[in-house]
């Protein structure tokens, strides 16, 4: 079914019903976004526990292996800036369906890649494909759901992304231990393909969407407006710093845990990624604390927690390392929920573009700092990672202190 109706057949906007809570359409839409969010972030992060296997199979360095995630997130970051504008012209559902379907097919192709260069090329294309869902999902929910139901629907979508991020790490690690990384990635591709088909069949077509021609000049004007705001610039920098630190921790913790004195197998290392679930509850809890103590104070508290967690990973003790990863994960999700909501409240107009810039900085941090982690690992092992991330998180803490003295704008 087409995403839009011809103008002559479209009823006036006020007469077109929204998707209401409790209806079959509402349940179908929520199932669709739960599957799509799960698939998108599972396919993005499924390579993270496989990095040591890439080192062994392709005979590359740990730094080179991290490009399988860093390259994808870098391309995705740039494409997020324009994917929303493309959906304004091409339609919400078509862009999202193509995004999830293409991502699954590219992951299946990665599982069959005979060489590292081809594998990286496919992951680069994956970054382009993946950008279509995060950039458009919130716009669809805002347009098609009745206001009283949109918050619940968005929460389910975010839950799907969090579950996908964890499952992508845990399942591939466990499947690799059983049948190798090719089998693990192929299984994730099939899971993504099944999710894409459910999404395509279950998601109702847009009824409140009217296509608009591409207007890149207006897009650039909105970006310029936000970058002139000092507070937003600091928040974008924070996203770059704490996301980069978090991804680097998870990129290289596997190399630390398979080496002495831990000497864990791939399956046991994969179970460490279940600590990701700590972050799923962090956003809600920290949001409640922010209402009581203030967003400004809670942000630097979360960054101090990340610093403390990093310190706990340095001794050669498995319980200490696990506790440190849990603290880093909680602090990261708490900081992310605070900073992302702060961006939405501080931006006085064109909030979608402000969110795009935030996500751009967020994923570029994952790409650039994640890649730099390979240099730190090669020169100093986990101690090198600790020094690098400690310096980055210290800068993030100082930025948070600067934000705490920021002059409010509007509701910020």
Query: Does some domain include residue 10?
Result: no
Note the pLDDT of residue 19. 87
Residue 163 has pLDDT above 60, yes or no: yes
**Of 281, 43, 48, residue with least CA distance to 159:** 281
For range 318-338, the mean pLDDT: 92
Q: How far apart are CA 168 and CA 87, in angstroms?
A: 27
Residues 6+ apart with CB under 8 A from 343: 232, 235, 236, 354, 355, 358
Residues 91, 162 within the same domain? yes
Contact of 400 with 303, CB cutoff 8 Å: yes
Contact of 160 with 261, CB cutoff 8 Å: no
Residues 252, 155 within the same domain? no
Give the model's confidence band at 405: pLDDT under 50 very low, under 70 low, under 90 confident, else very high: confident
Q: How far apart are CA 51 and CA 65, in angstroms?
A: 6
Residue 157 has pLDDT above 90, yes or no: no
Task: Please write the tens of the pLDDT for every residue from 393-404.
Answer: 999 999 999 998
**Of 339, 330, 162, 137, residue with least CA distance to 240:** 339
Q: How far apart are CA 318 and CA 246, in angstroms?
A: 19
Residue 203 has pLDDT above 90, yes or no: yes
Share of the chain above pLDDT 70, in %: 92
Residues 6+ apart with CB under 8 A from 392: 241, 244, 245, 369
Please report which residue ranges of 259-350 form alpha helices under DSSP H: 266-272, 277-293, 295-312, 318-346
Query: Distances from the Cα of 263 to the Cαs of 57, 163, 250, 255, 266, in angstroms?
Result: 19, 28, 17, 10, 10
| Mean model confidence pLDDT for the chain | 87
For range 348-370, the mean pLDDT: 84
Look at the chain and report how many structural domains it folds into: 2
Share of the chain above pLDDT 90, in %: 54
Residues 199, 222 within the same domain? no
Position with higher pLDDT, 26 vs 14: 26
Q: How far apart are CA 362 and CA 356, in angstroms?
A: 10
Q: How far apart are CA 278 and CA 372, in angstroms?
A: 26
Residues 286, 233 within the same domain? yes
Note the pLDDT of residue 412. 44
Query: Does some domain include residue 212?
Result: no
Residue 260 has pLDDT above 70, yes or no: yes
Task: Please write the tens of the pLDDT for every residue from 32-76.
Answer: 988 998 999 999 999 999 999 999 999 999 999 999 999 999 999
Residues 27, 150 within the same domain? yes
Q: CATH number of the domain that 410 lies in?
A: 1.20.1250.20
pTM beyond cutoff 0.75: yes
For range 214-242, the mean pLDDT: 87
End-to-end CA distance of the chain: 42
Residues 191, 233 within the same domain? no
Query: Does some domain include residue 365?
Result: yes
Note the pLDDT of residue 411. 44
Position with higher pLDDT, 136 vs 247: 247
Which of 152, 175, 203 is the last residue in one of the domains? 203
Residues 227, 369 within the same domain? yes
Note the pLDDT of residue 130. 94
For range 108-113, the mean pLDDT: 96
Note the pLDDT of residue 183. 94
Residues 148, 248 within the same domain? no
Tokens 């909680």, located at residue: 330
Residues 372, 350 within the same domain? yes
Query: Does some domain include residue 339?
Result: yes
Residues 357, 221 within the same domain? yes
For range 12-34, the mean pLDDT: 81
Which of 203, 227, 260 is the last residue in one of the domains? 203
Contact of 227 with 347, CB cutoff 8 Å: no
Residue 7 has pLDDT above 70, yes or no: no
Query: Does some domain include residue 378?
Result: yes
Among 2-11, 111-120, 166-175, 359-368, whose mean pLDDT is lowest?
2-11
Query: Does some domain include residue 403?
Result: yes
Residues 77, 190 within the same domain? yes
Query: Does some domain include residue 208?
Result: no
Task: Give Dmax (Cα) for the chain.
Answer: 71
Residues 56, 102 within the same domain? yes
Note the pLDDT of residue 351. 67
Query: Does some domain include residue 382?
Result: yes
Which of 177, 203, 229 is the last residue in one of the domains? 203
Position with higher pLDDT, 23 vs 108: 108
By residue range, what is the domain housing residue 276? 217-412
DSSP secondary structure code for residue 273 in this structure: G
Give the distance, in angstroms, between the CA of residue 24 and the centroid of all CA atoms in the same chain: 29
């Amino acid at each position: 079914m087409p995403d839009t109706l011809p103008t002559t057949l479209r009823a006036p906007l006020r007469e077109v019903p929204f998707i209401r809570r409790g209806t079959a359409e509402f349940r179908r839409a929520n199932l669709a976004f739960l599957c799509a969010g799960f698939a998108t972030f599972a396919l993005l992060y499924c390579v993270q526990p496989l990095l040591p296997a890439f080192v062994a199979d392709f005979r590359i360095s740990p730094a080179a292996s991290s490009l399988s995630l860093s390259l994808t997130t870098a391309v995705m970051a740039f494409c997020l800036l324009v994917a929303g504008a493309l959906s304004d012209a091409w339609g919400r559902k078509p862009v999202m369906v193509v995004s999830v379907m293409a991502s699954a097919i590219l992951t299946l192709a990665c599982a069959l890649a005979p060489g590292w260069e081809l594998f990286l090329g496919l992951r680069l294309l994956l970054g382009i494909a993946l950008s279509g869902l995060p950039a458009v999902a919130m716009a669809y929910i805002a347009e098609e759901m009745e206001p009283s139901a949109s918050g619940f629907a968005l929460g389910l979508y975010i839950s799907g992304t969090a579950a996908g991020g964890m499952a992508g790490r845990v399942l591939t690690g466990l499947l690799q231990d059983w049948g190798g990384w090719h089998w693990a990635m192929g299984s994730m591709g099939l899971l993504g393909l099944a999710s894409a088909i459910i999404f395509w069949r279950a998601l109702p077509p847009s009824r409140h969407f009217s296509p608009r021609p591409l207007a890149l000049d207006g897009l650039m004007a909105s970006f310029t407006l936000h970058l002139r705001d000092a507070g937003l610039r600091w928040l974008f920098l924070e996203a770059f710093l704490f996301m980069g630190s978090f991804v680097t921790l998870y990129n290289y913790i596997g190399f630390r845990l398979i080496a002495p004195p831990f000497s864990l197998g791939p399956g046991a290392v994969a179970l460490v990624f279940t600590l990701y679930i700590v972050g799923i509850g962090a956003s809600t809890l920290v949001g409640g604390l922010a209402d009581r103590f203030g967003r400004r104070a809670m942000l630097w508290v979360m960054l101090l927690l990340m610093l403390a967690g990093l310190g706990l990973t340095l001794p050669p003790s498995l319980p200490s390392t696990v506790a440190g990863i849990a603290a880093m994960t909680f602090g990261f999700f708490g900081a992310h929920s605070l900073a992302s909501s702060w961006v939405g409240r501080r931006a006085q107009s064109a909030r979608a573009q402000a969110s795009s810039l935030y996500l751009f900085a967020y994923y570029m941090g994952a790409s650039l700092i994640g890649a730099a982690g390979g240099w730190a690992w090669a020169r100093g092992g986990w101690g090198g990672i600790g020094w690098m991330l400690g310096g980055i998180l210290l800068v993030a803490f100082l930025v948070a202190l600067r934000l705490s003295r920021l002059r409010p704008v509007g509701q910020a």
